[in-house]
Structure 1
Amino acid sequence: MDDKKRSTLTPAELGAVAHLYRGEVYRSTIWRTRLDTTTNWAVVTLGVALSISFASPDASPLPLVLVGVLIILFLMLEARRYRYFNVWRARARWLETHFYAPMLYDGDLHLEEDWQKVLADDYMKPTYHVSIMTAIGRRIRRNYLWILVIQSLAFAGKLTVHPTAATSFDEAAQRADIGPIPGEAVMIVGLIYLVTWAGIAYWSWNEDIERGKKRGASKAESMG
């Protein structure tokens, strides 16, 4: 059958597409739950580090530094999961905007726009719809920027108030010493650490804006 001549779907095909939509919604829901799981891990881990470092005035601020490694690990895992989630979410949203919305609005599926071919190609040749850097940036914007800011503020607060209120920057820097590594170096690395992730978040925000403009300006819309 020549797809270009198709103007409608049979009742059996409509039923199959409806079941397909239900499946995509289910898969996107499952992967959305997995995203929440890794975020919870990051929050709980940071909470443990805060409890240890602020347990007493003489407690070391080192746990607040080491927890950064785990937070970044969870961020990488979550970005990977987000790329999977985005595939299922994009397919479900594609069906909503091109199948259900036109059918409810005017009873016409507009198969002449070839939206069904875009979906079919995505099933035939599945691929991620966003890059790993875009996924990382989106997760930072959604959750992890706040986690990273709290971690950084807690570290700065620990250096400032424990064991007594710091009276100078040199005193606070001395408290940040990690073995042979001077506190000033630790602070500089921490600042770079925070600014780098914030920069990735800002870059992905601009990237999403440009993606939205291209999608709105082009009739040959793509998924993602």
Structure 2
Amino acid sequence: MDFESTPLTRSEYISAMVHFYRGEVARSNIWRQRLDQTTNWAVVTTAAIITFTFAATERTHVLLLLSSFVTLGFLWIEARRFRYFSVYRARVRMLEENFLLPIVTRNLISPKPDWREFVAMDLDVPKFKITPVESLALRVRYNYYWLFTAQAAAWLLKTWMHPDPALTLREWYGHMGVGTVPGWPLLLIGGLFFAAMSVLFVLGGRAGEIVEDEIHGYESDRGHWKF
């Protein structure tokens, strides 16, 4: 008799679901560790460049600007990884809410009667649960906004202190130039960049509601389970 025509017993179904849950938790943990790696790389790189730049007065402040672009690369990688992490985390939460919770409470009624259809469809045709912009916004809000803020503060401090402490705003502005390039293009680019990060920071608050909904209670809105 083939597999499809043989009905599963209750114990076989529970055993299969338990192994499925363990597998999804393992996948989720792997992607969680990958997220931590890129965050650690960004923090270490930022700290190293700031330390190196301030170690000698003759070292250019442009290094601090370049560190922002390096950090931006880490942000892009981490945002992509977070989209994959959200797929497995969403499955884990769906299983915890609708399979494990009824067993633990001894009330064998799933809060969401159609949860199996959602999980089955996601296994058949996996879909990302958040958009690229939402993922970028979340990572900026949780980690990278503060790294960019530290880099901007370090750049302002470096241009004020070196090569000699500026006594006036005009002198400080003069320190911001590089060779024949005046300071205003760097200020403009830096201002636009920080404004973009601030917009993502605000958008991250809205995108974070999806995460908070998953982690702190039943998923009231499953619109991000796209089919």
Q: TM-score, normalised by structure 2?
A: 0.86
User: What is residue 16 of structure 1 aligned with on the other side?
Assistant: 16
How big is each residue's C-alpha offset from its partner over 1:17-54, in whole Å with a ceiling of 9 and x where there is no partner? Answer: 00000001101111111111111111121122112210
- Give, as a single letter, the amino acid of the residue that structure 2 aligns with 1:13: Y
User: What is residue 204 of structure 1 aligned with on the other side?
Assistant: 204
Q: Unpaired runs of 5+ in structure 1? A: 1-7
Moved more, 138-147 or 174-183: 174-183
In structure 2, relative to structure 1, the CA distance for the partners of 1:114 and 1:58 (3 Å cut) is same
User: What is residue 104 of structure 2 aligned with on the other side?
Assistant: 104
Determine if contact 2:160/2:172 at 8 Å carries over to the other structure. Answer: yes
Determine if contact 2:82/2:135 at 8 Å carries over to the other structure. Answer: yes
- Secondary structure at the aligned position of 2:165 is classed as coil
- Secondary structure at the aligned position of 1:60 is classed as coil
2:91 is the counterpart of 1:83:
no
4+ residue stretches of structure 1 with deviation over 2 A? 109-112, 178-181, 206-212, 220-224
Moved more, 176-185 or 53-62: 176-185
Give the RMSD, CA atoms, in angstroms. Answer: 2.2
Using the alignment, how far apart are the partners of 1:222 and 1:115 within structure 2? 14
- Secondary structure at the aligned position of 2:59 is classed as coil
User: What is residue 158 of structure 1 aligned with on the other side?
Assistant: 158
User: What is residue 131 of structure 2 aligned with on the other side?
Assistant: 131
In structure 2, relative to structure 1, the CA distance for the partners of 1:174 and 1:9 (3 Å cut) is farther
Determine if contact 2:35/2:82 at 8 Å carries over to the other structure. Answer: yes
Moved more, 188-197 or 136-145: 188-197
Determine if contact 2:137/2:207 at 8 Å carries over to the other structure. Answer: no
2:38 is the counterpart of 1:38:
yes
- Secondary structure at the aligned position of 1:15 is classed as helix
Determine if contact 2:53/2:64 at 8 Å carries over to the other structure. Answer: yes
User: What is residue 4 of structure 2 aligned with on the other side?
Assistant: none
